[in-house]
Structure 1
Amino acid sequence: MTHDVQITFDCADPGRLAAFWAEALGYRLQDPPAGFASWEEALSALGVPAERHNDASALVDPEGARPRLFFQRVPEPKRAKNRVHLDVRAAPGLDGEARMAALEAAAARLVSHGATRLRRHEPAPPLEAGHIVLADPEGNEFCLD
């Protein structure tokens, strides 16, 4: 038996982090429930106070193939290095200088959307193709691979 998987981010600002990861992965905000034009309208109709409208956010793959991403507000800040992280496949099929140039372009785009560049790992064939480590706007590490 197989199961679907959802990736959940604990965070301080679900809306901001969802917007960043939508940009990074080409995802889109999950549609509001049927009968509502927006999440704000749906949450208000459900009696959720305005100050709680940013307690959660979700993204979906526009093609429906990749896992749903869920962002939930938590009170505590991130304190240590992630034990699990995402690898964003930003240079599929590329090697050497072309690969690193594609990764650098992706890194620059994501930095312009709030990421922080942490370090670059140079290619070391045959096992290491090279990658760039970034952090999202709340400090969660991920790799451009």
Structure 2
Amino acid sequence: MGSIKQFQVTFDCADPDRLARFWCEVLGYELPPSEGPASACADPSGVGPRLYFQRVPEGKVVKNRVHLCVRAGTGLVGAERLAALEAESARLTALGAVQQRVLYADEENESCIVMQDIEGNEFCLD
């Protein structure tokens, strides 16, 4: 049995096109041709996973069991890392995201920021 090397992340949502456009802006992805009632976005370099957005009738009611971590502070530590995360949070807030809380660095972990996308899905800036 071979190992799987590619995967996509699927979002249940109310407005697939709007959510796909949001995540394309967040990640620098591109919108491929429309897929009817669903939408997608893809990494133009082909390295990152494809994101797929499908319309469902019910709204989001509980915390995500899986979330995306947007690597905005890779290689940075301390105040420099926090400044990069806060700048990215401001950019994404302008796109409609909501900053939930800042988790400041401690003895074990570096800082990260918990966010919500335009449909309330949690994600982290780390």
**TM-score, with structure 1 as normaliser:** 0.82
Secondary structure class of the residue paired with 2:46: coil
Which segments of 5 or more consecutive residues in structure 1 lack a partner in the other structure? 33-38, 44-52
Residue 124 (structure 1) aligns with = 106
Question: Which structure: larger Rg?
Answer: 1
Question: RMSD of the alignment, in Å?
Answer: 1.1
Structure 2 unpaired stretches of 5+: none
Does 2:82 match 1:100? yes
| 1:79 and 2:61 matched | yes
Matches within 5 A, 1:132-143: 132-143=113-124
TM score, norm. by length of structure 2: 0.94
Matched, 1:144 2:125: yes
Q: Which runs of 4+ in 1 moved over 2 A?
A: none
1:90 and 1:20 mapped to 2: Cα distance? 16
CA distance in 1, matches of 2:68, 2:96: 17
* Identity rate, percent: 56
Tell me the SS of whatever aligns to 1:77: coil
Aligned residues: 124
Q: What residue in structure 2 maps to residue 47 of structure 1? A: none
Amino acid at match of 1:140: N
SS of structure 1 residue aligned to 2:79: helix
Alignment of 1:25-104 (within 5 A): 25-30=27-32, 32=33, 39=34, 53=36, 55-104=37-86
